[in-house]
Chains A and B, each alone.
Chain A
Amino acid sequence: MKKGLGKYVLIRLVGAVPLLLVVAVIVFVLLQYAPGDPAELMLGMDATPENVAQMRVKMGLDKPLHVQLLRFLAGLLRGDLGTSWQSGRPVAEEIGRTLPVTAYVSFVAIVISSVVGVLVGVLSAVRQYSLVDNIVRVVVLAGVSMPVFWLGLMLIVVFSGFLGVLPSSGWGTPKHLVLPAVTLATYPLAMITRLTRSSMLEVIRQDYVRTARAKGLSMRAVIVHHALQNAFIPVVTVIGIQFGVLLAGAVLTESVFAIPGIGRLTVAAVFARDYPVIRASVVLTAAIFVLINLLVDISYTYLDPRIRYDN
């Protein structure tokens, strides 16, 4: 571990607590302004006004707002996320069930897109305006513009329908992972490729690269040790952001492939006005971004020795 890094991480983590509390308050307040009565929605149109009133008491919605808010924040600080109004199960259990699924798919997707994206991006930059570069640029444009929904369906049609080699939907075996991971990887892959290419193009024109080449170093050594390391900082930032976006849940992909992930959980909760689940999932997403940003910042110190956090 680098000097001062431990203290830096500690400060950042402690600093995240008030930030998350502010996020929690904001999401609480925003939900108060969301149209629709959770109790009424839960009971549907068969309910009488008395039924709805009874339900509101059961859900704690009859309490004054500040009491509801304080209960929520106090629970959060104790690590108690409450109980889902829809399923009646603890929110922690619901998230514990869905987050690992999303995390697994997202991790595989981000690994695919980072590895392939960086390699193709470098290749494309080094061979600027070559046939390879032109093909890459067209494919990247397609990748960025392709709706995941459509892509997912096309993959199902081809690999489950025509070829019959992969299951169309569901969760459980590694085979179930392939199509969703590839679908999810497409956009970040295109982004990472494009960014790696432009970042590399900038770096390989620098004097020190020319110097390195002039010293007689091989092209490969120059690219890997000199150029790539410097070009990598913006790329790592984007990888981090994309990973965070994937972890927050990709509802379209999860719906198309019927994966029990956190994206579907959250969206279902929004439609049902299941406040405890919405709040927990928003705070969790904020926490994930805090954590990923921290990891990205730490990675900078390894990529660029000039970046230090010890003062």
Chain B
Amino acid sequence: MNRINRRQMLGLSGAGALAAFLAACGKQAGVTESANIRALGVTEDLPGLPNEVIDDVVLLRTAASLEYTAIDAYEAALNLGVFTGAAAALRSVASRMRDDHRGHADAVNGLVVAAGGKAFTCANPRFNEVYLAPALAAITAADNADVAGDVLALAHGLETVAAQTYQSVVGLLSTPALRRAAMTIGQEESRHAAVLAQAIKPGAAGVGPSVDADGRALIAAVPSAFGELTAVPLTLGPVRADGSRFQVSLETPSLNSFIYPNVTCA
């Protein structure tokens, strides 16, 4: 008679449990496979993210989108009717700068097409959503006492960021000819910014960096010895109940605001 001792019994029961476990993990007869039923030890491949290469076309389409953002901003400013009285002379300045941006947009889109891309002929959606729309809402708030001043500050900020954008892509563009073309436009944006800074704070006192009584940096026509790529802070709109005002820091376009080939005008 075969006798099974306690040790053998424990070994057999362990093997039986393992067999039952493996059977539960495997396919079962008569059970339809479904993607909705997960089996232990079997996972599907995760879908990979599509890779977007940031090349000349993406950088230039992004620059074109900022030109259209600037055009839209000047159009909005001109339609506010604030360039009257002492600010009447600024109407022709704003019109001129809007027209310059139209020329820049055409020039940049020419480069886009020459580089094998598709022209982008509308404003940067991310930039508009994050910066321009909130800024315009603050400026046009019913109790804003200095709409014209805020419009100038916004225009100066946009021109500064536009100039920074061209400067920032110089090292990323693939050819020296494109770098020159970008900075030919970029230096014109810098001139716009300087002219607007002088409109905000005229004369020699408004040329170099300075601060107000509270130590806050004031807008300067030439704030530094080299073109900066730092954020441009803006304070706009009416004073709120808590004494604060709407604040935003404009930054050059980056990964979330680049105009990739799959981005189209709405």
Our verdict on whether A and B bind, yes or no, reads no
What residues make up the interface of B, taking CB atoms closer than 8 Å to A? none
